[in-house]
Chain A
Amino acid sequence: MIRDNLWRAWAWLLAFSLISTFAAQWLETYASMVGILILALAYLKMRLILSRYLGLAATPYWNAGFGLVLGLYMLGLLGLYLMPFA
């Protein structure tokens, strides 16, 4: 178990990136589901960079604010992505 916050964030970032890449390569049949997963993981990766690398974890007010705005933005991207499937 990695105890250091920075190293743990890095391990999660690598893991999420690997999952995204492999899902895109090997699960093409389920494109829309994989797309949702990829965008969700991208959101989690951005939250990790903001909170751990950029240090927003120390300031919950800004961490939550950035998380909320980014979340709304990612929902917008998800809507645009899913539009052709409708």
Chain B
Amino acid sequence: MSTPAPESRLAELPGDLMIWVLIVSELLVFGAGIVAFLAVRTTDVVGFAEAQDLLDRTAGGINTAVLVTSGLCAALASRLRLAERRLAARLWLAAAGLLGGIFLWVKAVEYEAKVSAGIGTETHPFFTFYYLLTGFHAAHVVAGIIILALIAWRDSPRNLESGTAFWHMVDLVWILLFPVIYLLR
């Protein structure tokens, strides 16, 4: 049996190839940030644990539930669009975007509490990583919400597949950030 040519392997990927290039690139960037976080942590485990105690794990947990639910909404939208159910797809996209907004609001409340307590990027290396990684991720959530709005407007199946893939990448990154920054002791 012959092995498929490389082009046909790439063609197997769902959606546009460029969105996969973007997903892998983003995973590499955040992945490197997380490796750096854990590497610096090895030099000051107690300091990192004390700093982590100042985070709101419940807020982080709520945001995880919000984002994975938002991912479900986006995936359902993509499936419904392929079934030519455009209005239902748009409603699920709106739900995904709304949940993205809730994620940002919870994140903003978290940041506000930290800043009010005098915790900034210089307080401890833990918080340098915390603000850098979660802030960069939040910027992606903002971009994702804009993309969800755009694909709800220009709702070709191809647009939906690529746009929702970006949203799942945002989800994927948070799934890795949350346990490493908020939970690991």
Residues of A within 8 A of B (CB): 6-7, 9-10, 13-14, 17-18, 20-21, 23-25, 28, 31, 34-35, 38-39, 41-42, 45-46, 49-50, 52-56, 58-59, 61-62, 73, 76-77, 80-81, 83-84
List chain A residues, Cβ under 8 A from B74.
Answer: 53
Nearest to A12 among chain B residues (CB) is B68
A17 touches B38 (CB 8 A): no
Task: Give how many B residues have a beta carbon under 8 Å from the other chain's beta carbons.
Answer: 41
A53 touches B168 (CB 8 A): yes
> From DSSP, what is the main secondary structure of chain A's interface residues?
helix
Residues of B within 8 A of A (CB): 9, 12-15, 23, 31, 34-35, 38-39, 41-42, 45, 57-58, 60-61, 64-65, 68-69, 71-72, 74-76, 79, 165, 168, 171-172, 175-176, 178-180, 182-185
A80 touches B35 (CB 8 A): yes
A77 touches B180 (CB 8 A): yes
List chain A residues, Cβ under 8 A from B72.
Answer: 6-7, 9-10, 53
